[in-house]
């Protein structure tokens, strides 16, 4: 799988674990796999930018779980503890907030870093039941980064997904039974074994990966080149 990473060193547009012509067909089919984690603010920005591709392409979205902070307990961990020893480049957080705002996101910095396994399992439940992955991912990111809710709690995950049209009773039963826990672990292992170390990673048609919350124009250009090359 080819890959292309554009951005700054120091994680300015991607969270990391510890020459062609313009060809933009109208509404051609595009398969996108978004590798992300719900505690990654750049993943939320990346989703918002990726949504804009739907204006130009018939985008089928697939989600792939990523464990950005392995070892977080089920109850979560205080941000002060999770951030101990971590430093950011000057202006990083202000840049992040302004970038998110430009994408329509009122980004906050919750005091708790949750374990996101339940949120990933809910995403897989949505896919398995032909739900709206776009709406569910948006709802889960919003619950954490804008409403500062704990995605490690079943009630929070179920409520957010219900707002996105998911059957709440079926989802709650699946989460309590751990029905999708093995599948989520497989997705995380797939990410590791395929060399995904930064999120968001956007994979176009299963063969070209773009790392980071890249600008919409860049995503549109890559998408156009991919579908254009496959049409010839």
Question: Residue range 50-67: average pLDDT?
Answer: 97
CA–CA separation, 191 and 199 (whole Å): 10
- Residue 96's contacts (CB-CB under 8 Å, 6 or more residues apart) are 41, 42, 107
Question: Residue range 79-94: average pLDDT?
Answer: 93
Return the axis-axis angle of helices 154-163 and 168-177, rounded to nearest 10°. Answer: 150
- Which residue shows structure tokens 């996105």? 164
Judge whether residue 13 has pLDDT over 80. Answer: no
Judge whether residue 134 has pLDDT over 70. Answer: yes
At 12 the pLDDT is 44
At 19 the pLDDT is 40
Judge whether residue 17 has pLDDT over 90. Answer: no
At 184 the pLDDT is 98
Per-residue pLDDT band for 27 (boundaries 50, 70, 90) equals: confident
Domains and CATH numbers, the chain: 2-231 (3.40.30.10)
User: Which of 80-94, 133-147, 153-167 has the weakest average pLDDT?
Assistant: 80-94
At 189 the pLDDT is 97
Between vectors from CA 108 to CA 82 and to CA 54, what angle results, nearest 5°? 110
Sheet holding 57-65, edge to edge: 2-5, 208-211, 201-204, 28-36, 57-65
Return the axis-axis angle of helices 133-145 and 117-128, rounded to nearest 10°. Answer: 160
At 202 the pLDDT is 98
Tell me which residue of 108, 113, 107 sits closest to 80, measured CA to CA.
113
CA–CA separation, 208 and 227 (whole Å): 11
115-125 b/e (C-beta count within 10 Å ≥ 16 → b): bbbbbbbbbbb
At 229 the pLDDT is 87
At 156 the pLDDT is 98
Eight-class DSSP state of 88? -
Judge whether residue 6 has pLDDT over 80. Answer: no
Question: Residue range 60-73: average pLDDT?
Answer: 96
Sequence-ordered alpha helix ranges (H) in 4-163: 41-51, 79-82, 92-102, 117-128, 133-145, 154-163
32-41 b/e (C-beta count within 10 Å ≥ 16 → b): bbbbbbbbbb
């Amino acid at each position: 799988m080819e890959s292309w990473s554009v951005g700054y060193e120091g994680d300015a547009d991607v969270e990391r674990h510890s020459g062609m012509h313009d060809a933009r067909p109208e509404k051609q089919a595009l398969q996108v796999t978004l590798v992300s984690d719900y505690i990654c603010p750049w993943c939320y920005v990346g989703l918002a930018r990726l949504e804009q591709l739907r204006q130009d392409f018939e985008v089928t979205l697939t989600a792939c779980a990523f464990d950005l902070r392995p070892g977080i307990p089920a109850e979560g961990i205080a941000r002060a503890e999770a951030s101990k020893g971590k430093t950011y480049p000057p202006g990083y957080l202000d840049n992040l907030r302004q970038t998110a705002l430009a994408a329509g996101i009122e980004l906050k910095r919750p005091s708790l870093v949750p374990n996101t396994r339940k949120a990933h399992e809910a995403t897989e439940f949505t896919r398995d039941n032909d739900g709206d992955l776009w709406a569910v991912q948006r709802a889960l990111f919003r619950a954490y980064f804008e409403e500062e809710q704990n995605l490690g709690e079943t009630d929070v995950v179920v409520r957010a997904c219900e707002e996105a049209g998911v059957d709440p009773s079926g989802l709650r039963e699946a989460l309590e039974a751990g029905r999708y826990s093995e599948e989520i672990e497989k997705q995380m292992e797939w990410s590791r074994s395929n060399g995904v170390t930064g999120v968001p990673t956007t994979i176009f048609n299963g063969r070209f990966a773009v790392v980071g919350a890249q600008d919409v124009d860049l995503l549109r250009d890559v998408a156009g080149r991919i579908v254009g090359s496959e049409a010839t």
